[in-house]
Structure 1
Amino acid sequence: MYIRRILVAIALLGAIAGFVFVYFVYNTVFMPNTAFENDQAYVYVKSDDNFNDVKEQLTPLLKNVETFTKVAERKGYINNIKAGKYSIKKEMNNNEIINSLRSKNIPVDISFNNQETIANLAGRIATQIEADSLDLLESFTDQTFLDSAKFDQETALAMYVPNSYEFFWNTSAEGFRDRMLKEYKRFWTETRLNKAKAIGLKPLEVVTLASIVHEETVKVDERPRVAGVYINRLKKKMALQADPTVIYALKKEANDFDKVIKRVLYKDLELDSPYNTYKYVGLPPGPIAMPDISAIDAVLNHEKHNFLYFVADIENFGYHKFAKTLSQHNANKQAYVRWLNSQKVMR
């Protein structure tokens, strides 16, 4: 009888210990451990982060950091940190959190447009992925890369076709740049290449002209007509005489691309710069801004007409008045200059 009581006691103690152990495991591994009210929160793990860095980000998101740490140790996550963007959903337990951090890197949508310089582009991308702006700029302007990709310092911006792209947040500067070269080649389909050839321009020249068209008019429906004017001028070997190229030249000369120039003066037309299309015939050395796809396609599908001139239309703001002769253009221009003077737009 005594032995039987001992065995029963041992069994009870074992059951209690087992219950405690199961409760401990359940509480540590499977109980929800999130402390936020939103549906989910995001954690950004950098390429050189260690477990303490990750834990620091997670601390305000978790009810119990200690139990998370124990499970992380048990599952080997502490020594197997992976960079990326990760989602922690409300009511996740420690096991689910670690599984997410270990294998569910979330892609991010990256978008960019209207960047005036390659440095501006680097700054824009740096706000969307882990790579910083200096690393991005260095990779964008690396001479070895540019030589192999058949670009140079003046045309480097042309490689980046503005759009929305999916990347992993921890993409490196070189990884981003190399992917964009592939996207550039993909953009230049056989159809687009044939259209460029038909108007006597190479893809880089199309982008350069498109950047001028882009800067001349914000009206997408007018861009094919503006492009047609410049195509006509190129065919006649006339100077493009595009004000946006002079503005770019002035900014480049001053090394100040934040400078606002609303009016081109006659003295500006004397600036000796290859970007001054009043002084030099033909296209400038490279794009003066990042043209969007509508501007590129406007050049490839330019309107066929006999216009050689255009000036802002003060009766229909945003659009332009087009002319076939210089006398017509001068009349249109005088009306525009009078309006500028009336508005006291001096620079």
Structure 2
Amino acid sequence: MGKAKKKNDKPRRRGWGALIFVLLLAAFVAGLWFYSEWDRFTNAPLAQTGEVTIDVPPGSSFNAIVRTVKQAGLSQAPDLYWRALSERMRVTGKLHAGEYAVPPGTTPRTLLQRMADGDVLQHRVTIVEGWTFKQMRAAVAQRADLAQTVTTLSDDELMQRLGAGGQMPEGLFLPETYTFTRGDSDLDIYRRAHAAMAKTLDEVWATRAPDLPIDTPYEALTLASIIERETGKASERPEIAGVFVRRLKIGMRLATDPTVIYGLGASFDGNLRRRDLETDTPYNTYTRAGLPPTPIALPGKAALVAAVHPNEGKSLYFVARGDGSHEFTDNLEAHNRAVAKFQLRRNQ
């Protein structure tokens, strides 16, 4: 009986061996398939045809972040893959909220690393040299990527928010390009531009030339704003500054159109007439001597530097040539000839 039992064990052993072989082969094939899928998931670009932007809200869990990625159409891979990759990269729990740009070619690995680094999308708002504060407010208010918190405030209320209550805002914000991330507030931009102007003005004033006919940094700011409005040509700013500084020294009126226009305010229709030049306002430098009471625009750093480092010379007049540059002259007779020459050319 025992010998018969041993004969029956051989087929069973062969059956178990075949089963084990099949299972091992299946496991091997499954392993190859998983390795191939894993390698493709981690290293292949995400599914997209152009640049995609995703916004991860604050407080999002890891699973919520993966859902955001999937809802953007970037991946259909199982959540387990994303979890396994993040664990392997040791970034689980370290992913930052924010707005992320996902350009073509981005892989899951690079996306997770970008989130771990907090490499969020940077937006930019440019405050243009020579703008008025009103124009700055309009530009900031139309940005949908900024949290709008001060649009209903008056200028005085806005300055109070900045800790500068009672100050006239014109000129006190530095024209520049400011970067920010989605969710930053409009007040952040005003605060940064206000601080940047204060810092820049202090630095420029500390290097001023001797014997200037201006006594305070604020007067330098006011003069710089006029220079900024008179020319957009960088090379001319110190020369125009020289004209105004020489006029101030001898008590000659500045007689500059931009101050008149600023004083006219909303009533200015784009056409400056003789009667406008004769209409007295605190900003009319044809009817009043010295600087106007406040800046008339937001001057850039170059205009500030020109105001405290004017060119030396004798010119007291300048007139626009019509090509963005100016003709500078030393006396009224030469100035009148230049005016006739270039006005006639413009009329022709």
TM-score in terms of structure 1 length: 0.71
Q: Deviations over 1:91-136 (max 9, x none)?
A: 513x432332343415648454235233433555678893157757
CA distance, structure 2, for counterparts of residue 88 and residue 292 of structure 1: 35
Which one-letter code corresponds to 1:35 in the other structure? Answer: A
Partner of 1:195, secondary structure, is coil
1:233–1:57 CA distance, 2 compared to 1 (3 A): farther
Are the aligned partners of 1:275 and 1:284 in contact in 2 as well (CA < 8 Å)? yes
CA distance, structure 2, for counterparts of residue 191 and residue 118 of structure 1: 21
Aligned equivalent of 1:143: 159
Larger radius of gyration: 2
1:143–1:180 CA distance, 2 compared to 1 (3 A): closer
Partner of 2:208, secondary structure, is helix
CA distance, structure 2, for counterparts of residue 248 and residue 338 of structure 1: 27
Partner of 1:176, secondary structure, is helix
Are the aligned partners of 1:85 and 1:169 in contact in 2 as well (CA < 8 Å)? no
2:339 corresponds, among 318, 325, 333, to: 333
Residue 161 of structure 1, CA deviation: 3.8
CA distance, structure 1, for counterparts of residue 297 and residue 22 of structure 2: 79
For residues 77-116 of structure 1, the aligned pairs below 5 Å read 82-88=97-103, 90=105, 92-93=107-108, 95-106=109-120, 108=122, 110=124, 111-114=126-129, 116=131
Are the aligned partners of 1:81 and 1:102 in contact in 2 as well (CA < 8 Å)? yes
Aligned equivalent of 2:55: 45
Are the aligned partners of 2:220 and 2:304 in contact in 1 as well (CA < 8 Å)? yes
2:305 corresponds, among 289, 297, 301, to: 297
Partner of 1:16, secondary structure, is helix
Partner of 2:172, secondary structure, is helix
Matched, 1:131 2:139: no
Are the aligned partners of 1:47 and 1:170 in contact in 2 as well (CA < 8 Å)? no
Are the aligned partners of 1:34 and 1:92 in contact in 2 as well (CA < 8 Å)? yes
CA distance, structure 1, for counterparts of residue 71 and residue 290 of structure 2: 55
CA distance, structure 2, for counterparts of residue 308 and residue 119 of structure 1: 32
2:329 corresponds, among 308, 322, 328, to: 322
Residue 145 of structure 1, CA deviation: 3.4
Residue 169 of structure 1, CA deviation: 5.5
What are structure 2's unaligned runs of at least 5 residues?
1-8
Are the aligned partners of 2:130 and 2:225 in contact in 1 as well (CA < 8 Å)? no
1:222 corresponds, among 236, 259, 274, to: 236
Partner of 1:152, secondary structure, is coil
1:92–1:235 CA distance, 2 compared to 1 (3 A): same
Which one-letter code corresponds to 1:333 in the other structure? Answer: V
Q: Deviations over 1:45-76 (max 9, x none)?
A: 376797589447732xx3xx331755557759
Residue 302 of structure 1, CA deviation: 0.2
2:296 corresponds, among 277, 288, 291, to: 288
The sequence identity of aligned pairs, in percent, is 23
Which one-letter code corresponds to 2:241 in the other structure? Answer: A
**How many residues were matched structurally?**
324
Partner of 2:242, secondary structure, is helix
Are the aligned partners of 1:105 and 1:168 in contact in 2 as well (CA < 8 Å)? no
Residue 297 of structure 1, CA deviation: 1.6
